[in-house]
A and B are shown apart, each in its own frame.
Chain A
Amino acid sequence: MINRQEEEKGLLFITGASGFLGSHLAIELAKRGYSIVGLIRPLNGLSGEERLRRIGRLLEADFRILSRISVVEGDMTLPELGLGKDLYHELSRSVTEIINCAADTSFAKKKREVVERINVYGLENLLKMATKSKCSFFHQISTAYVSEKTSGICKEELTSPKKFTNAYEETKCRAEHLSTNVCHKAGIRLNIYRAGIVCGESRKGRTFRFNGFYYPLKSIHRLVESFRTNLLEKDGEKARKMGVRFVEENRLMLPLTIRVTENAGINVIPVDYFSRMLIKIMDVGNQGGIFHITQEKNCPLKDLIEYTRKYFHIEGLNITLDGSPEGPIERIFNLYNEPYLPYLQDSRVFSSENTMQLRDEKLDDRFTYERFKICMDYAIKADWGKTFKG
């Protein structure tokens, strides 16, 4: 095993550098003195540079740190990554490692084409570049949820499930196989990092993506706010008709029963934990392999429900193991969260032996109420991302 710190740090090429994971990672690597080229798409009238600058401001990244990240505008789904011939060749000559953070994480079936285009065909373009370049190490960001839905433990190995929950899981699985095959043939070392469900930073809860575990919570927050308004600012009759009322100590009775399966739980990790672990693995685990960056134990859904009750001051939020009749509140919750409902019935547990071997410090990765509260405080302050344009 070679320690990265003893090696010369080359030029890192990070795709999706304005994304949630990509930006955190790029800034964290820049802090450690890496020279980075970040591939960023211009979007909504903002240049790649401007997008990174805005994210940097949100994450309170020092100007000097950001200046270590050179932005190139491009698009993974285009030939030569949309960089133009000269820049493409120049990068191919100088890049020594590639971290592929670019991904579309949509769960909706109707987004399948876009998800596939970015997660699979975009990767093909990137691997083409890798094989033509000086790249000696390819880092593929994946998800722990590519694993087969089993009652046992999901291992850190390539997997070929027959069924997937959505196109995101399926394409990330295909991407693992694709990168493994191409890198193997080209003699490029490959690390695959499978993340759990990533939430905001552990200390401040900062994030600018509020999908994943945030999404169902956002719907509960919106409902709670609407009912509170109706009860406090109007006559509250319509809320009461649905069984919503204030109970003691200003707590809201919100009759919402969510269907789950026994042992269901989610694997949530803070983004800074993800970045630190990934860099640690990069630094010392450079022989290639698959690494789960996950919690050792899932956060049981019943705990998450308890956190939700406590945080939003609500009662009546319950779980059920069997189907119970839907009222209007359940109906909107279920309709709204349709793409996420399978994860409320997911009991996959992830082993992280490979990762643990490389971990030389004890990181507190438990998803506690305190951590939940930090995430929710930030989400509400940021109005679930409405205040951020980047």
Chain B
Amino acid sequence: MNKTDILQTARQCRHYAMCKIDFLKTGICPAAIDRPFVSFFPQGRMDLFSGVYERRIPVTKELVHIVESCNLCGICDKQCHFVTGLRPLTVMKGLKEYVQEFLDKGNVPEESKPDDFLIALQTITGQKWASSDPAILFPYADDPCPATPFTMPRYVVMPSNSSEISEIIKLCRREEIPYAVRGNGASVIGFVMSTGLVMDMNRMKGIRFDEKNWCVYVQPGVSAFETQKEAVKKGYRVNAAEPSALLCANMMCSGIFSNFSHSYGILADNYVNAEFVDHDGNLFNLNQFDAPNLFSNDKMGRKSPGVCTEVGVKLYPFPEDEEGLIVPFSDMEGALSFASELGRRRIGNAVGVLGGEYLSVFISPTEELARRIKRFFSGTLGIKYAVLVVADTYDRKIIQEMEKVVISQKLLSLLILGLADLNGNESLSIIEEYVGDREPYEILCDGEILPLLELLIDSSPESLAKAVPEDLEGFYKDLYSRPEMTNMVWLSMFRIISSRMGRYKHPVAFVLYVPMDNIALIMEIDSEFKRIGDIHHIHNDYGFITPLDMGKRGVYEFDFYVDPTDDADRRNCLNAMAEAVEMIESYCGGANGVKWIQSVLYQGFCRSENLLYLD
């Protein structure tokens, strides 16, 4: 691969930080274990390749050290391919070659000299945890959101506890250095850039269970995946966002929502207590009498209350007989009505109405397969929307009485492992050629014919692995031999496949809270998003809706997709975003129950009722 092709791969890094968590049991990049600055992770080295190749940063001693720390083990290739389809190993190799060529030519790497502020930071944290070296700073300067300008910080620091954070904040105030806190060193909406100091919380990875009080306290470097993993080991579950997102960062930003918000709620429903360091460097927690009132909601937005240093999130029990199922629909109205009904009847622990795009992209290990499967699901089977439900035996029975047609866990596993065989399978012509009154998916979902489908579809880890590049076949075969990889409950809890939504292009997500008792309004908003996306030539699609608070409200996402490395696409997306914001604001101002996620920015600790029901 030539350098231009490598650059193209490097620039496509989505900054989802999935290489920072061990979500596939491959282990994480060994280079990052000693000093987990983003630069030591594959994500950071993808940026560093662009940086040095485009001569935006010099080759420094630190860069040489970062490059040498990579042993080309290939873990990144497996992890990244699973999520984005990218093969970062070529970039890791390219970066090594670039630096080697630089050194072979007799060039001497630069050495950055510490200034007084850096020395002060290093005094607080220890020398190796604060840096002003461009090789450390560069991966904190950019993200894929088209509205985010490149913003190079002057310093990056990794504190290890609240006291250090307090001292750092006081130092920043004294020296008038602006600062931002970044969760997993990733941001996809550009709120955590700073021209001054970036605090990376990855050293603060403490997890403390208080089982008697159904609570787990996590420090700001702990990801949703890590929290869920530890909780599940003890027989509990937490309501968690995307796996690489850090829980504290999530709460600080806009609160946590997931399909489990159907029963566990959002915002303040999810935590017991939280600890902060405020902008003066003082510690407080939310159960303190004189703590700032973070339970209120100001729809005009509010300033961050400080740095969240620990959050106690609720633990939930889950029944052993829980299973997932999918109820397919040929139209949005039917799917939303059904989800709303589940809310009203308190059925299921997790509910999400997925669009055809999400469904096919999530379950497909490659983009090419996702496109084919979307055509198969939507065109051949007539599945345009799918209501995913995680429920116990009793609720599943009720659902089957409500809607006769369901994709059971068994059928979904069969379909996922048979994806590579689904489209173009001659034996399935019988479904493609069906001309009767039922939706074709009704035939597929008929429980009685499952044995026949098992015969018709070549469904196995080996079969699925045929869809990926040959050198990854063995890895995928082993991976999909693990039952959790097709288990709807596990996948809903750990959410490791939802990041695939960024595989084709980076999604710019618009999240709204909507009234579930006004489905016509939701459909109108959805068509408006689509209209705007279409006129600006931006790939766009409905994302999901999860009913909240007994189906009275819902959290809804619509996505515009952009290639941040394509100037025309970026421009179109920015224009579409501007028009979409106007549209959203007009609905928020005029339609009851519509709130934009901007209304909870930095207010993730507020009461859900204050957001959902107070104008």
Is B430 an interface residue, CB under 8 A from the partner? Answer: yes
Of all chain A residues, which has the CB nearest B439? A110
**Chain A 100-125, CB within 8 Å of chain B: the 1/0 string?**
00000011111000000000000000
Of all chain A residues, which has the CB nearest B427? A226
User: Which candidate, B389-397, B443-451, B482-490, is the interface stretch facing chain A?
Assistant: B443-451
Is B280 an interface residue, CB under 8 A from the partner? Answer: no
B451 touches A384 (CB 8 A): no
Which residues of the other chain, B, contact A336 by a CB distance below 8 angstroms?
430, 434, 436, 443
Of all chain A residues, which has the CB nearest B442? A335
Is A83 an interface residue, CB under 8 A from the partner? Answer: no
B396-454 interface with A by 8 A CB criterion = 426-427, 429-430, 433-438, 442-443, 446, 448-452, 454
Which residues of the other chain, B, contact A384 by a CB distance below 8 angstroms?
433
A22 to B68, CA, bound (A): 76
Is A227 an interface residue, CB under 8 A from the partner? Answer: yes
User: Which candidate, A39-47, A69-77, A324-332, is the interface stretch facing chain B?
Assistant: A324-332
A226 touches B435 (CB 8 A): no
A30 to chain B, nearest CB (A): 31
Which residues of the other chain, A, contact B448 by a CB distance below 8 angstroms?
326-328, 331
Which residues of the other chain, A, contact B454 by a CB distance below 8 angstroms?
238
B435 touches A242 (CB 8 A): no
Residue picked from B438, B446, B449, most chain A C-beta under 10 Å: B449
A108 touches B435 (CB 8 A): yes
Is A239 an interface residue, CB under 8 A from the partner? Answer: yes
Which residues of the other chain, B, contact A218 by a CB distance below 8 angstroms?
433
B443 touches A230 (CB 8 A): no
How many A-B residue pairs lie within 8 Å, measured between CB atoms?
Answer: 68
B451 touches A332 (CB 8 A): no
B443 touches A335 (CB 8 A): yes
A335 to B452, CA, bound (A): 13
Contact residue among A106, A239, A335 (Cβ-Cβ distance under 8 Å from B435): A106
Contact residue among A109, A219, A242 (Cβ-Cβ distance under 8 Å from B451): A242
B435 touches A225 (CB 8 A): no
B435 touches A211 (CB 8 A): yes
A377 to B62, CA, bound (A): 74
B451 touches A328 (CB 8 A): yes
Of all chain A residues, which has the CB nearest B429? A222
A223 to B426, CA, bound (A): 11
Contact residue among B435, B443, B450 (Cβ-Cβ distance under 8 Å from A339): B435
Is A185 an interface residue, CB under 8 A from the partner? Answer: no
A242 to B448, CA, bound (A): 12
A242 to B446, CA, bound (A): 16
Is A338 an interface residue, CB under 8 A from the partner? Answer: yes
Is B456 an interface residue, CB under 8 A from the partner? Answer: yes
B437 touches A109 (CB 8 A): yes
A242 touches B437 (CB 8 A): no
A262 to B437, CA, bound (A): 27
Of all chain A residues, which has the CB nearest B434? A336
Is A241 an interface residue, CB under 8 A from the partner? Answer: yes
Could you say which interface size class chain A belongs to?
Answer: 20 to 34
Contact residue among A226, A332, A339 (Cβ-Cβ distance under 8 Å from B436): A339
Of all chain B residues, which has the CB nearest A337? B436
A327 to B438, CA, bound (A): 20
A242 touches B455 (CB 8 A): yes
Given contacts A108-B437, A218-B433, contact A335 B455 (CB under 8 A): no
B324 to chain A, nearest CB (A): 23
A238 touches B435 (CB 8 A): no
A215 to B430, CA, bound (A): 10
B382 to chain A, nearest CB (A): 11
Which residues of the other chain, B, contact A337 by a CB distance below 8 angstroms?
436
A387 to B426, CA, bound (A): 14
A110 touches B455 (CB 8 A): no
A331 touches B435 (CB 8 A): no
**Chain A 334-376, CB within 8 Å of chain B: the 1/0 string?**
0111110000000000000000000000000000000000000
Which residues of the other chain, B, contact A106 by a CB distance below 8 angstroms?
435
Is A160 an interface residue, CB under 8 A from the partner? Answer: no
Which residues of the other chain, B, contact A226 by a CB distance below 8 angstroms?
427, 455-456
Given contacts A335-B446, A336-B430, contact A227 B435 (CB under 8 A): no
Of all chain A residues, which has the CB nearest B454? A238
Of all chain A residues, which has the CB nearest B452? A328
B341 to chain A, nearest CB (A): 24
Which residues of the other chain, A, contact B443 by a CB distance below 8 angstroms?
332, 335-336
Is A94 an interface residue, CB under 8 A from the partner? Answer: no
Which residues of the other chain, A, contact B434 by a CB distance below 8 angstroms?
336
Which residues of the other chain, A, contact B456 by a CB distance below 8 angstroms?
226
A109 to B448, CA, bound (A): 24
B96 to chain A, nearest CB (A): 46
A335 touches B449 (CB 8 A): yes
Of all chain A residues, which has the CB nearest B450? A328
Of all chain B residues, which has the CB nearest A329? B452
A211 to B434, CA, bound (A): 10
B449 touches A331 (CB 8 A): yes
Of all chain B residues, which has the CB nearest A239? B455
Of all chain A residues, which has the CB nearest B448? A331
Is A159 an interface residue, CB under 8 A from the partner? Answer: no
Of all chain B residues, which has the CB nearest A341? B436
B452 touches A222 (CB 8 A): no
Of all chain B residues, which has the CB nearest A211? B435
Is A320 an interface residue, CB under 8 A from the partner? Answer: no
B446 touches A331 (CB 8 A): yes
A332 touches B455 (CB 8 A): no
Contact residue among A107, A219, A230, A326 (Cβ-Cβ distance under 8 Å from B430): A219
B19 to chain A, nearest CB (A): 39
Which residues of the other chain, A, contact B451 by a CB distance below 8 angstroms?
238, 241-242, 328
A229 touches B427 (CB 8 A): yes
Of all chain B residues, which has the CB nearest A112? B437
Residue picked from B430, B442, B454, most chain A C-beta under 10 Å: B430
B566 to chain A, nearest CB (A): 30
Residue picked from A109, A215, A331, A339, most chain B C-beta under 10 Å: A331
A210 to B358, CA, bound (A): 36
A110 to B436, CA, bound (A): 8
B433 touches A338 (CB 8 A): no
Of all chain A residues, which has the CB nearest B456? A226
Residue picked from B435, B454, B456, most chain A C-beta under 10 Å: B435
Q: What are some 16 contacts across the A-B interface (CB < 8 A)? A: A107-B436, A109-B437, A110-B437, A215-B435, A225-B427, A227-B455, A238-B451, A327-B448, A328-B448, A331-B446, A331-B448, A332-B449, A335-B438, A336-B436, A337-B436, A384-B433
User: A107-B436, A336-B434 known; 5 other A-B pairs, CB under 8 Å?
Assistant: A211-B435, A227-B455, A238-B451, A239-B455, A332-B449
Chain A residues near B (Cβ < 8 Å):
106-110, 211, 215, 218-219, 222-223, 225-227, 229-230, 238-239, 241-242, 326-329, 331-332, 335-339, 384, 386
Chain B residues near A (Cβ < 8 Å):
426-427, 429-430, 433-438, 442-443, 446, 448-452, 454-456
9 nearest A-B residue pairs (beta carbon)? A238-B455, A331-B448, A226-B427, A222-B430, A328-B452, A338-B436, A109-B437, A108-B437, A339-B436
